[in-house]
Structure 1
Amino acid sequence: MRLATFTADDTAETRVGVVHDEQVYALPAEATMRELIDAGLAETLRLGERARAEGDGRPLSRVRLLAPLRPASVRDCVAFEEHVEGVRRSVSGQHGVPDAWFDAPTFYFTNPHAILGPGEEVRFPAGCAVRDFELEVAVVVGRAGSSLTESDARQAIFGYTIMNDWSARDLQSREMQVTLGPAKGKDFATSLGPWIVTADELEPYRDADGFLALTGTAAVNGIEVGRDVLANAGWTFESMIAYASRDSLVLPGDVIGSGTFGNGGCLAELWGRHGAQDPSPLRPGDEVALSVEGIGTLSGTVGVADAAPPGTPVRRRRYTDHREEPT
């Protein structure tokens, strides 16, 4: 089942509905995506089937799709070795893959308040000149849990969506010299959509090793620049959820990104391999379309934000001991 959040042409009211055969069937007006996730997958499927059976569908062409949900949190893993190798060379000038990458599906937290939906303009920071996209699939957690097993984690999956982890590479390259994860190079925008595909829909794509064999492509202004298969990741989503929950907590509505596909899942990987910014960084007005088999297509247009106020410069000083001398 495909679950979308939308507004119709004839009303500004935000609704949740089931997408089927290019039609959207609205669920009861009081339902939100987060409430459906809290209710559980079985109940959501029941409500969705009722909406299709009893409701009048609206053509997709007559609704505006929004981000399918406002996540409780957003973690982003880095599960594709090819991506790590290429981007590391591009962003930091270092070669190879760090040994620590092989230990676990490492992730960073990004901003759950800067979520964009299908077709929305992403306003890159005004000071950014090296703009990039990232093709990912994200899993939506449907149950709370701590230190989950991978078997428990599979039962906790509500569904999947496409994720574009937009990246200001010049800001990222500078700030990561402090040896922390990306911050202002990432937290200005993350796109999700076009809808959530429930977990049962993608089970036919699962291979013998438990990975989802979904082909993903990335195109800029209609020209394909990347193509890879989700099953080339180093870890399954069950592994990612289990690791995220280890000695911690995952909640319904949490979103966990797969990390960027290899083979052109972002421009920076290609820059690292080519030794030059070829293809060129994204320009204002460019349209990026990410397509994933079994899910759909998520598009977004590149824009630029107004210049932000200048920051306060660091206070440079020598270290002094401010403790009182004993009397």
Structure 2
Amino acid sequence: MRLRVVAGQRGEGVALWDAPRDRWLPLRDALAHRAAADAGVRALLSDVQDDMIAFLAGGTAVREAALRLAERLADEAFAADLTPRLPFAARSLRPFLLSPRHSEGVARGMAARYAPSEVLRQAEEHERATGETFPGFRPRPLMLSLPLLYQGNHNALVPSGTPIAVPPYGHDIDFELELGFVVCRDVRDADPEECREAIGGLVILNDVSLRDTQWEEIHGSPLGPVQKCKSFTTAMSSEVLTADEVLDDLASLTGDVDVDGERWASGRADDFAHPLEVCLARACAGETVVAGELFSTGTLAGCSGIELGRLPQPGATVALTVPRIGTLANRFGGVSA
């Protein structure tokens, strides 16, 4: 089920994509309609109509109630303001790095753009002589045996349509097409099966990155490569796909990147080193992960500019599309004050 927050006649709230009628159905307006007389449906939906996380936590019963409501009101018209909004207020943002192909691709791309020519020559000679990947480009072994994550900045999340400025301390801005997954109930020291039940839905994320700053932080900071290069902005789709739709076949999700209408990249979530429930089990080991916390998968392989050897120009509009979820589009350019 696809969901988003819209503004209906009775204010903002959760809406579901009613595919048979090709419409977004605002739950608040639908429940207020005189034809929505099913007491059971009202009881299930009244407490979640304004809260995306609560809707996701309601599981199968709430989703089925929403579908019954849509069917009951099949012949009624509803207006919805679809101005892009964040679908929920994330309690935290913690990205994983799950794609080995992306890990290698971004290492190659960063080296090609910023490394001294002597390093590039050594890498080329090594690969030509051995037929093997240069050690500096290989994913680190720990990434393959353990889900690795870092702390992002949930206060910097913006919706589709928000212009993204270049911070004054760098210039090489880039996109990364990622999947986000939000937790809908608290978990602590939980096994993967319990964690699977706590994953409520998936969104599209653009992990906007400042590559020249990232290069500086990789080589100059003892705190790691993901500080100021990524903390200034992350964009999130308005649409949420309920986890039941995709957790059994995450590899089926595909994504496309278009820059000013030109297709730059396409990718698939088919090489992740760890399932999402294993990632969440790692995150909640020894600590409580609370409902509303947002995690990401890291970038789909090939879906960042640095991997392609080209970065978007100032003023470019970057549109990330995952067909089963929606589209996230933001204009890059300008310098933040």
Q: Which residue of 2 aligns with 1:111?
A: 153
Note the 1:231-270 alignment, pairs <5 A: 231-262=270-301, 264-270=302-308
Report % sequence identity: 28
AA of the residue aligned to 1:296: G
Note the 1:164-243 alignment, pairs <5 A: 164-176=206-218, 177-181=220-224, 182-202=226-246, 206-207=248-249, 211-243=250-282
SS in structure 2 of the partner of residue 158 of structure 1:
strand
Q: Kindly indicate whether the alpha-carbon contact (under 8 Å) linking 1:41 and 1:142 is maintained by their aligned counterparts in 2.
A: no
2:183 aligned with 1:141: yes
Q: Deviations over 1:178-205 (max 9, x none)?
A: 13241211111111113111122225xx
Distance in 2 of aligned mates of 1:147 and 1:156 = 13
- CA 1:52–1:106: 2 relative to 1, 3 Å: same
- CA 1:43–1:301: 2 relative to 1, 3 Å: farther
1:121 CA drift (Å): 1.5
2:151 aligned with 1:96: no
Q: Kindly indicate whether the alpha-carbon contact (under 8 Å) linking 1:34 and 1:70 is maintained by their aligned counterparts in 2.
A: no
Bigger fraction of residues in helix: 2
SS in structure 1 of the partner of residue 299 of structure 2:
coil
Distance in 2 of aligned mates of 1:48 and 1:179 = 50
Instruction: Output the aligned Cα RMSD.
Output: 2.4
AA of the residue aligned to 2:295: I
SS in structure 1 of the partner of residue 327 of structure 2:
strand
| Partner of residue 85 from structure 2, selected from 66, 74, 90 | 66
SS in structure 1 of the partner of residue 28 of structure 2:
coil
Q: Which residue of 2 aligns with 1:325?
A: none
Q: Return the TM-score normalized by structure 1.
A: 0.80
| Partner of residue 123 from structure 1, selected from 165, 187, 198 | 165
Q: Deviations over 1:260-311 (max 9, x none)?
A: 011x21011233xxxxxxx2x222221111112422222111133433xxxx
AA of the residue aligned to 2:280: I
Q: Which runs of 5+ in 1 are unaligned?
A: 272-278, 308-327
1:50 CA drift (Å): 5.3
SS in structure 1 of the partner of residue 251 of structure 2:
coil
- CA 1:196–1:57: 2 relative to 1, 3 Å: farther
Distance in 1 of aligned mates of 2:232 and 2:282 = 26
| Partner of residue 282 from structure 1, selected from 312, 320, 329 | 312
- CA 1:50–1:305: 2 relative to 1, 3 Å: farther
Distance in 1 of aligned mates of 2:169 and 2:96 = 26
Moved over 4 A (4+): 53-60
| Partner of residue 83 from structure 1, selected from 96, 102, 123 | 102
Give aligned pairs, total.
289
Q: Which runs of 5+ in 2 are unaligned?
A: 30-48, 116-135
Distance in 1 of aligned mates of 2:251 and 2:77 = 30
Distance in 2 of aligned mates of 1:43 and 1:305 = 47
Distance in 1 of aligned mates of 2:137 and 2:69 = 53
1:71 CA drift (Å): 0.8
Distance in 1 of aligned mates of 2:304 and 2:327 = 16
